[in-house]
Structure 1
Amino acid sequence: MGFGQGLSGLSAAAQNLDVIGNNIANSATVGFKSSSASFADVYAANSRVGLGVQVSGINQRFSVGNVKVTGGQFDIAIDGAKGLFRLQEKDGSLVYSRNGEFFADKNGYIVNAQGQQLTGYVGGADSTTLGALTVPTGNIAPRATSEATTKANFDANAPIISEVDIPEQLGAVTLTPADTGVPDAPAYYRVSSSGTLSWFDAAGNATSSPANGKYTSGNGLQVELTGGQIIAGSFDTNAPNNAYAAAQTGRPFSPTDPKSYTHSLPIPVYDSLGNTHQLTQYFVKRDGAAGLQSQWDVHYTLDGLPVNEPAGGGPVQMVFDSAGRMISAAETTIVMNAPGFAGAPAEPLAIRLDYSGSTQFGGGFTPSFTQSGYPTGEYSGLSIAATGEVIAAYTNGETQIVGVVALGDFRNLQGLKPVGGNAWIETSESGPVLVGRPGGNGLAVLKGQALEESNVDMSQELVNMIVAQRTYQANAQSIKTHDQVLQTLITMR
């Protein structure tokens, strides 16, 4: 019996050394999970003395290894304890691994060194279809511009531009002589650049000055006139109906006449073929209608050609109140029926324009804009988001989600069966796989361009090796001792 006990100890210690040696050998294997041997004693029925030891199981430690940034385009690390990559063999069977060293094969599939294909949700960010993930090829389709936003401050002090000629408008003020208290008829005046007053009748004909003397103007201000000139006091020439306005020459809007508009803003837009066009917005400050503080007309050209104005037959009107806030509708839609070039016809281009947030303050014209279209672009690279999205980048600056990496988890990881190649397969002991997206349902998140290192603790393994060696030596000594006892019995007479 003693020999059997010692032999079982030697066998168990040897297997323990095998496990430790395997851990040390795989200390640099990406995603490797170290193992440890568990032991149990052996008893015969109705025996009070044990028959030795047996290896009851080889347990893998699924603790998380260090995450190392590699910069590899297809490298992926699972940054957390829960989750394994779901890999598809060439025969369609599935295996699971924590090794995230991937690359693109000749067919565009994302695979590991064993040729196993990384699987996930294919067809877009919201897809629920599981399949092998692939690297996109070809160009991304262009998107026609459907929306554009313009947020700007329009200069409140910009001069008004009139479409038609405006004759000179004389200021009018009613004066009440201090000696009579009876208001005179309105006196019409013009102010020169030097501040000299000239007087006219209601028809605009030059006339004699009001009499010398002291007066009260219609707004209650005291003035004293001599020769028709104010020598003391003042009256408010900015009061309603009192302001003098010089004659203006009308300038109907024309994109070729810079004096016919106040500001212009060119922005790029794209048609259904991805061709670039220049949409130019022209802003013209107008004299506001009664009760309105300020009005701006907006005209449009596409590649220098006029664009049909929106429904209503005229330019878009932007109206601002006395606080500089826009009080008119912020959105409008313009349509270009044939935006394409010769030989490259494109679909009609309808763009919803949004001016929300625009202001009119006493400052410069400060525009900003966005638009929703883009041209076609070639595939240029791939990146992996923390939540598993496989994001393709293109030369036009756009990105597109082409799939989502799927992770699998099991209720009993110890029930998984190792099959080599740093992979496991599902068994009845592990339970069915639970598939989900990284970061959801308790699954770990991912880290792109990084790998999870082996979780082998080299110092601990070396200590374990010493202990296993001593155990082996002790069991060998046990066999030797039993041999000596047996020899003693044999030599007895």
Structure 2
Amino acid sequence: MAFQQGLSGLNASSRNLDVIGHNIANANTVGMKASRAEFAEQYASSINASGGTNSGIGVAVNSVSQMFTQGNITVTGSDLDVAINGKGFYELSMPDGSMAYSRNGQFKLDRSGDIVSNLGGQLMGYPTDSEGNRLSFETQPLNLPTGGPIPARQTSSIEAEFNLDARAVIGPSAIPPTPISKYGTSVIAYDPQGLEIPVGLAFEKIGNNQWNVYTSVNGSDPAASTPFVLNFTTSGQLDPSSVIPPLTVSSPNDPSVTFPVTLDFNNVTQFGTAFAVTNLAQDGYRPGELTSLKINDSGIVTASYSNGQTRSAGQIALIDFTNTQGLSPTGGGNWQATFKSGEPVRGAPGEGNFGSLRAGALEDSNVDLTAELVNMMTAQRAYQANAQTIKTQDQVLSTLLNLR
């Protein structure tokens, strides 16, 4: 009887329409992967049946597979929107403690400083130092210190790069004597609490290829300090035998709090050109509040602070599987690992077979609306054809019952 075949065809076509409708409904869902219904014919089993003699008993939906092809990437401009260009999934630690995997890069920063998905999953990544160097291959939730300012850093060194004019006359012998303030510069250092400490440097030529260096701290008179001497070679480079003592700096909040600051003058020269400072830097800073985040193509999350400092907060991890078709969709753009998918393989963006990241962008759904609409019309016709087989079988039965 053809009722069984027609009924199975109706069920399969209805399931196919469900899959197509799901694809069309999610055409604008970020990171969504289209599905397709895969059919298999069915035959009745019989003992000693030879090939080709059994009548088929219909069709069944053998599997609903997802198509993990790359979706288009759309630029959004949001700092925490991230698209994967290539293979890989984000790893998320869900609120119930389970692990999920996603291609949806719409992330947010919660009040605890965690980078989370719209469903509350914490984005997992690798810990790094402040320069972005990976410290471990064990993933952990990416977190930023949003609860308070980053602490201040005490200045430990001052690096200077400048040229002293070789044409300058010897200061004490000049008429009138050259004031020590003629050649000088200043920089702001910081104490352990981040308070500013003005540091001044003044230079006086005292002989051929010799200069006195006077220092000033917190506005003191440089002339009252004990100078040290810079010696230069005949080629204008700093003589390595020059002894540069550390500078003792006191806190403006408590003058009894002092600490040494190393002076790096290795790039100081003495040439026959005007005095000029080309670089003057120190390694301290005041406290700072988080102002913005940036994510580069390698997944390094960099936080910028109000004191001008930037720090790496970790590196986004990417996950891949031996069999992505074995992943189980759980909704919300997430999948879970199963026995069929295999164990997750961790890596970093841009390494090996893993794709790179595009910050300020999102991966669109890979649903082809035109193809889905054509598929929908085909599925509709298949449904009608199966219904017609049932109608025809009913007419055959009716003819038989009406025989006299």
Same fold (TM over 0.5): yes
Tell me if 1:70 matches 2:76: yes
Cα deviations across residues 121-163 of structure 1 (Å, max 9, x unaligned)? Answer: 347443434332233121112222223322223323222223x
1:83 is matched with which residue: 83, 88, 96? 88
Cα deviations across residues 403-445 of structure 1 (Å, max 9, x unaligned)? Answer: 2222221111100011112111110000001122222342222
In the TM superposition, residue 120 of structure 1 has moved relative to its aligned partner by 2.1
Provide the C-alpha distance between the structure 2 equivalents of 1:157 and 1:350, rounded to a whole number of angstroms: 31
- For residue 63 of structure 2, what is the aligned residue in structure 1? 57
In the TM superposition, residue 250 of structure 1 has moved relative to its aligned partner by 8.4
Give secondary structure in 1 for the equivalent of 2:269: coil
Cα deviations across residues 241-270 of structure 1 (Å, max 9, x unaligned)? Answer: xxxxxxx5585xxxxxx6245511112222
1:335–1:348 CA contact under 8 A, matched in 2: no
From the superposition, tell whether residues 363 and 249 of structure 1 become closer, same or farther in structure 2 (CA, over 3 Å).
Answer: closer
From the superposition, tell whether residues 385 and 459 of structure 1 become closer, same or farther in structure 2 (CA, over 3 Å).
Answer: same
Give secondary structure in 2 for the equivalent of 1:348: strand
Tell me if 1:370 matches 2:285: no
- For residue 285 of structure 1, what is the aligned residue in structure 2? 205
Provide the C-alpha distance between the structure 2 equivalents of 1:31 and 1:331, rounded to a whole number of angstroms: 63
1:158–1:262 CA contact under 8 A, matched in 2: no
Provide the C-alpha distance between the structure 2 equivalents of 1:90 and 1:354, rounded to a whole number of angstroms: 54
Let me know the Cα RMSD of the aligned residues: 2.7
Provide the C-alpha distance between the structure 2 equivalents of 1:61 and 1:9, rounded to a whole number of angstroms: 24
- For residue 214 of structure 1, what is the aligned residue in structure 2? none
- For residue 121 of structure 2, what is the aligned residue in structure 1? 116
In the TM superposition, residue 475 of structure 1 has moved relative to its aligned partner by 1.6
From the superposition, tell whether residues 339 and 333 of structure 1 become closer, same or farther in structure 2 (CA, over 3 Å).
Answer: farther
TM-score after normalising by structure 2: 0.88
In the TM superposition, residue 75 of structure 1 has moved relative to its aligned partner by 2.2
2:320 maps to a residue whose letter is: D
Tell me if 1:275 matches 2:275: no
- For residue 178 of structure 1, what is the aligned residue in structure 2? none
- Count of residue pairs the alignment pairs up: 393
1:83 maps to a residue whose letter is: G
- For residue 9 of structure 1, what is the aligned residue in structure 2? 9
> Sequence identity, in percent?
39
Give secondary structure in 2 for the equivalent of 1:305: coil
Provide the C-alpha distance between the structure 2 equivalents of 1:393 and 1:23, rounded to a whole number of angstroms: 40
Matches within 5 A, 1:340-351: 340-343=251-254, 346-351=257-262
1:466 is matched with which residue: 374, 377, 383? 377
1:400 maps to a residue whose letter is: R
Provide the C-alpha distance between the structure 1 equivalents of 2:56 and 2:321, rounded to a whole number of angstroms: 37
Provide the C-alpha distance between the structure 2 equivalents of 1:160 and 1:478, rounded to a whole number of angstroms: 112
Cα deviations across residues 59-95 of structure 1 (Å, max 9, x unaligned)? Answer: 1011122222223343222222x11111112221111
From the superposition, tell whether residues 156 and 454 of structure 1 become closer, same or farther in structure 2 (CA, over 3 Å).
Answer: same
From the superposition, tell whether residues 480 and 380 of structure 1 become closer, same or farther in structure 2 (CA, over 3 Å).
Answer: same
Q: Which runs of 5+ in 1 are unaligned?
A: 166-247, 252-257, 289-293
Tell me if 1:132 matches 2:132: no
Give secondary structure in 2 for the equivalent of 1:51: strand
- For residue 228 of structure 2, what is the aligned residue in structure 1? 315
- For residue 27 of structure 2, what is the aligned residue in structure 1? 27
Matches within 5 A, 1:42-441: 42-45=42-45, 46=49, 47-80=53-86, 82-122=87-127, 124=129, 125=132, 126-128=134-136, 129-136=138-145, 137-162=147-172, 248=174, 251=177, 259-260=179-180, 262-288=182-208, 294-305=209-220, 315-321=228-234, 325-329=236-240, 333-343=244-254, 346-356=257-267, 358-363=269-274, 365-441=276-352
- For residue 240 of structure 1, what is the aligned residue in structure 2? none
Provide the C-alpha distance between the structure 2 equivalents of 1:91 and 1:270, rounded to a whole number of angstroms: 45
Q: Is 472-481 or 423-432 further displaced after alignment?
A: 472-481
* Structure with greater Cα Rg: 1
Give secondary structure in 1 for the equivalent of 2:389: helix
Provide the C-alpha distance between the structure 2 equivalents of 1:342 and 1:424, rounded to a whole number of angstroms: 56
1:442 is matched with which residue: 353, 360, 368? 353
Provide the C-alpha distance between the structure 2 equivalents of 1:357 and 1:344, rounded to a whole number of angstroms: 31
Q: Is 272-281 or 295-304 further displaced after alignment?
A: 295-304
In the TM superposition, residue 473 of structure 1 has moved relative to its aligned partner by 1.6
Provide the C-alpha distance between the structure 2 equivalents of 1:101 and 1:343, rounded to a whole number of angstroms: 48
1:161–1:261 CA contact under 8 A, matched in 2: no
1:298 maps to a residue whose letter is: V
TM-score after normalising by structure 1: 0.73
Provide the C-alpha distance between the structure 2 equivalents of 1:469 and 1:103, rounded to a whole number of angstroms: 42
Give secondary structure in 1 for the equivalent of 2:397: helix
1:488 is matched with which residue: 390, 395, 399? 399
From the superposition, tell whether residues 356 and 108 of structure 1 become closer, same or farther in structure 2 (CA, over 3 Å).
Answer: closer
Q: Which runs of 5+ in 2 are unaligned?
A: none
Provide the C-alpha distance between the structure 2 equivalents of 1:308 and 1:362, rounded to a whole number of angstroms: 25
Q: Is 335-344 or 377-386 further displaced after alignment?
A: 335-344
Provide the C-alpha distance between the structure 2 equivalents of 1:308 and 1:490, rounded to a whole number of angstroms: 124
In the TM superposition, residue 27 of structure 1 has moved relative to its aligned partner by 0.8
2:110 maps to a residue whose letter is: D
In the TM superposition, residue 457 of structure 1 has moved relative to its aligned partner by 1.0
- For residue 40 of structure 2, what is the aligned residue in structure 1? 40
In the TM superposition, residue 395 of structure 1 has moved relative to its aligned partner by 0.5
Cα deviations across residues 275-322 of structure 1 (Å, max 9, x unaligned)? Answer: 22222222222332xxxxx33332222223378999xx861313142x
